[in-house]
Each structure stands twice: as structure tokens, then as C-alpha cells.
Structure 1
Amino acid sequence: MKQTLLTLFAFAICTQTPGVHAAEGYPSKPVHLVVPFSAGGIGDTIARIVSAPLSEQLGEPVIVENRPGGDGLVGTQWVSRSEPDGYTVLQVSTPLTINMVMRTKPRYDLTRDFEPVGCAVRSTLVLVVPASAPSHSVADLVAFAKTKPQGLSFGSGAVGSVGHLSGELFSQAAGIHTLHIPYKGESAVVPDLVSGRLDFSFASQPEALQGVAAGQMRALAVSSLQRVPTFPDLPTMTEAGFKGFDPSSNYGYMVPANTPLPVAKKLNEAISRVISQPAVQERFRLLGLTPNACAPDGWSSIVKAEIARWGPVVKAANVHAD
């Protein structure tokens, strides 16, 4: 009996040691932060804001690596197949959850193939119309839509983008007809919106700020549950009559499944310290982003909530990527 107990104790020590030891020695080489989209976009910008102070926190270089393709599919799958040792980190954003629900047979599962690390920021969209449009409020826009049997047109940077599905969600909630026009990137939407060829758009805050300041756009509401500092006088969609309308884009981090939990915890602590730095927060706010550090379980809850949110919207709008 004594020998059996000693054997079991030794086994328990051995099974726990790898994770503990991995965290104690982690990191001992560069960490790769994978952005599954092209360089130059908002996600790439967020990663580069985070990477330098994160390198200081971890004591090793954090290298931003862009692996675009398939609306995030290529980079996401690559990370899921990487060694689960904490040296390959995926920057996850709302388009990746949308990509999942747009496919009959998803190529990855954020809730199964990855371990959550933590949140970074939220990006709130702004409902905008051309400056020449007759609508001065969300109610005006809905009333205007109901005078046009053919519906209103709206643009976004891509099929399945947050801007696209925000427009679909608004159309469904308002009971109006709309036609989505996809473009190659959000900036390509702007000329057709300001000229009046499009009736509305859900724009990023930087695009909305620039358009409003130039007198080319009129902002009607923000897509978050709370008002935002960049547009303090602008009502939320809830205040405009669309209770619970909150299709903001969330950004955070994950590592491959089976990464030792102590390693994921160490990463979370380092990222949380970075997000709490005043200089980092100011850089985010200048981009219209809201710093939003959270624990791994908080990030997991956000991802699951987004999957639950966008599934019905995608189905009702008949949007798919198969």
C-alpha cells in the first residue's frame, strides 16, 4: 500500500510539473503574435501598439506576423496547428467569429481549438449617412427607408464584415429593406457614401470622425451600449430605440489548445499590464478604440456570446462563405 501511494504521488508530481516548469521558464525566446489579416488594417495596428510594451513585460521580443487569407482562415488554422507552448499567439477579432458561423462546416472552432488568454480592446461603429441626406436621426433614416419600396443601400468593407452584419442587424431590427454593397476595404466605401450613391454605412470611428469633420458625413448613432468619448453627444442605438443593439468588434488573444494554463495566465497578466498603461490607452483612444483588459474566462465568454449573436443574423440574411 505504501509503495502504491508513493507511486501515485510521484505520478501526480510528474503530470503537474511540465505546466509549472513551462511557466517558470516562459518565455525564453521570441513570441510570435499572429494577425490573420493583411498589414495596415486596424487589427494590424492594434497588434503593433501592443507588441512593443508586451516585449518589455515578457523580456523577449514579440514579433507581429501577418498571415492573411480566407477572411482570417489561413492564419487562424496555422496557429491552431502550432506547438501549444505559448510562443505562437493568435490575435482574435469579431470577423473570426463571423467566419465560423458563415460556414456550414467551420474550418476551425475558437471554443475548441484554442485556449483563451484575454481581451485587448473594443471597436465601436458609427451609423453614418451622407451630409446631404435628409435623415438627422435614426428614426428619420427608418422613416425614409419606408418611403423607398426598393430599400436603402449600404456599404461595407467586405461580405461578412462587422460593418456588413451590423447593417443586416439594423435592417432586421427596423423592419426595412436594404441592399448591401461590398467593397474591397472600408476606405473604398467612403467615396460612394459621401457622394450619396449609398444611403448609409456602419463606419469605424476614425472614418466617421474624418468624414464628419470634413462635412461629408452625418453621424446618427454609435453601435455600443454606452456613449463614446469621440462622439460624446451622439446617442447609442439603444437610446435611438434599438434596445440591446451592440455589434461592436472585440479584439483579444488566444493560444493553441493544450497550451499549459500557467503559460496562458502569464501571458494574460502581461497583456493586462500593457492594456492598463496610460500611453497605450491614449493611442487606442485616438483610434476610437476602447481599452478592455479581461481575464481568460471573460474573453471566452465574449467569444461565445458573439457566436450566439451573429449566427441568427447570418442565417436571416442568408450570408454564407461556403
Structure 2
Amino acid sequence: MGKKIVRLVTLVLSMFVLATSGNVVMAQQYPIKPIKLIVPFPPAGATDVMGRAIAQKLSEGLGQTVLVENQPGAGSTIGTDLVAKATPDGYTLLLASGSLAIAVNLYSKLGFDMMKSFAPVSLVGHVPHMLVVHPSVPANSVKELIALAKAKPGQLTAASQGNGTPSHLELELFMTAAGINMLHVPYKGSNNVMPDLLAGNVSVFFDSVPSSMPLVRNGKLKALGVVGDKRLPTSPNIPTLAEAGLPGFDAKNRFALLAPAGTPKEIVQLLNTQMAKVVAAPDLVARLGSQGAILEASTPEQLAAMMKTDVAKWARVVKDANVRAN
């Protein structure tokens, strides 16, 4: 009996060594074929634009083609689920946005766990949002808007891209932090919000900087504050919401590169090293910066901590505001 146990232990250890050495060899050879980058949103949106720019730079750095594949739907959870269930070999990656940390708090039946189903690779950066209002709104600062909302509770109309979207959750976070109540008007995407906002049919909107800034510059909208901890380099005259009267207010729409859980650490580290180079590339910084994106890398550990923080923050907002997915 003792010899059988010894042989069994030896066999198990041998299999472990073979599996481990196989992972090492795979990591050393990586990448030997094209890599698929899943963008869980339709083409032409902010996530898609960033994904294609990053894919091009990663292709150059890795010496292998990185192909973008759009898999939209259900608040980004369809494409995310595909990556969670993909073979953890580094050939299927996910460009996640801030919508994911919101979605995991909205959808009760998901086939993945945001904190357990993925290997964080690197932060990519974020696209700041800002609080804009129609010019007819008699408020030229965040403090004045809060005062106006308190004087007219439930009368100011505030648009969003739809229930459970980042613009909706930012609005809920803003109302909670400011102690005010505005009438939420959900739309289906920014393109549907803009005609009504420009016509003055709705008054308030949290929108991405690339979308609203041209309208702010030509006087069709007023920008009261930037969502984030820093002012925009291109518009330093616009204060952050924290500076404008809501200390600590931050709701970054982060973009991050994730791999399936179980991806060899050597591959994760190689991708992390490449991403640090990608987000520092001057031409990419200028190109995406002109569209409002702020690029920034991180270690996998730093990204994991950010993901945990974001999930917890949006969980509170979703619960307190009783938000439901469309």
C-alpha cells in the first residue's frame, strides 16, 4: 500500500511539473498567433475608438496582430462573459470600461464574477465626463445649480443615456452628494439626449468631454464641472466637481485591459509591460488626448484594487437609488 501511495504522489507531482513547465514554455513563445481584443460595445463609440488605437500599438510592440472584435449588449456583459469563458492563454483579451463595475451590480444572473473571473493586466486610462447644462439654466457654477435644485426640488430635468448607464449613476451620485432631487429623464444613448438638451427640453446632463466640449466652446451648452480629481489640460478653466463644492466627488469612467483568470503570470506581465509603453506613446497620447482621453497604466495589483473600489462604490449608488436595468 505504501509503494502505491508513493507512486501516486510521484505521478501527481510529475503531472504538476509538466503542466507548469508547459505554461512556462507557452509564455516564453507568446504570442505566436493573432490576439483577439474584445470590445463589449458597438463600433465607433468611445470604447471602440480606444480599443482600436490600443490594438494597433500592441500589435507593433508584440510583433503580432491584435484584432478588435465588437461584442456589444446587456451593459457590456455579453462580450465580458465571452472573455471570462475563453481559454486563459493570452489570446483573448477584454477592454473593459467603467460600465462593467456598474453592470455587475445591476444584472443578477451573470456567468462571471468581476473579481474572480479575470486576471487584471493594466489600467488604460479614462475619458472624463463633465456636468453640462442648457444656457437657459440660471446657474453658472455647481454651487448655483445645487442652490437652484434645492429651491425647486424635483423640477429641474436631468437626462441620462439610459437607466443604469454611467451618466445615470453619476447623476444619482451627484444628487446624493449634493442633497438634491432632480427629475431623471432616461434616453437611449447620448445621440438621443442631445437634440432635447440643445432645445432646452431637458436641463442637465453628465456627458463625455469629447461629445460636449465642442458645444460648450460654441456657447450652446454651459460646462459647470469636470468629473474627476484633475482639471482638463485642454480646458483648465473648468473646475472639478470636488473643487466646485463636492469634496471627494469622483466617478472616473476607467478603461482597463483584462485577461481570463488563470492566464499565466508571465503573459500577464508581458502584456502589462507592453501596455505601459502603449499609453506612454506620444502619438497615441496626442491622438486620444485630443478626444478627451487621459491615458494611464498601472500594475495588475493596482488595477485589481481599483476594480474592487469601483464595484463597491457603484453597489452603494445602485442600492440607495434603487436603480434597475432597462
Q: Which TM class, normalised by the smaller chain length?
A: over 0.9
Shift of 1:44: 0.2
Shift of 1:8: 9.3
1:261 corresponds in structure 2 to: 265
Distance 1:320 1:122 in 2: 25
1:144 equivalent to 2:148? Answer yes
1:111 corresponds in structure 2 to: 115
Q: Which residues of structure 1 form unaligned runs of 5+?
A: none
Matched ranges for 1:47-66 at <5 A: 47-66=51-70
Kindly provide the amino acid, as one letter, of the partner of residue 81 in structure 1.
K
Distance 1:206 1:103 in 2: 29
Shift of 1:15: 4.4
Among the aligned pairs, what percent are the same residue?
37
TM-score (norm 1): 0.94
1:286 corresponds in structure 2 to: 290
Q: Which residues of structure 2 form unaligned runs of 5+?
A: 1-6
Shift of 1:4: 12
Kindly provide the amino acid, as one letter, of the partner of residue 320 in structure 2.
A
* Corresponding residue SS for 1:146: helix
CA 1:231–1:18: 2 relative to 1, 3 Å: same
CA contact (8 A) 2:226 2:240 kept: yes
* Corresponding residue SS for 2:255: strand
2:136 corresponds in structure 1 to: 132
* Corresponding residue SS for 1:299: helix
CA 1:316–1:9: 2 relative to 1, 3 Å: closer
Shift of 1:79: 1.1
Distance 1:54 1:289 in 2: 18
1:234 equivalent to 2:248? Answer no
Match of 1:158 among 136, 142, 162: 162
TM-score (norm 2): 0.93
CA contact (8 A) 1:125 1:205 kept: yes
Kindly provide the amino acid, as one letter, of the partner of residue 219 in structure 1.
A
Distance 1:45 1:77 in 2: 21
CA contact (8 A) 2:130 2:207 kept: yes
Shift of 1:9: 8.2
Shift of 1:168: 0.6
CA 1:274–1:148: 2 relative to 1, 3 Å: same
Distance 1:9 1:182 in 2: 58
Distance 1:293 1:277 in 2: 12
CA contact (8 A) 2:153 2:182 kept: no
CA contact (8 A) 1:100 1:108 kept: no
Shift of 1:248: 1.3
2:201 corresponds in structure 1 to: 197
Match of 1:318 among 314, 322, 326: 322
Kindly provide the amino acid, as one letter, of the partner of residue 54 in structure 1.
L
Distance 2:219 2:203 in 1: 16
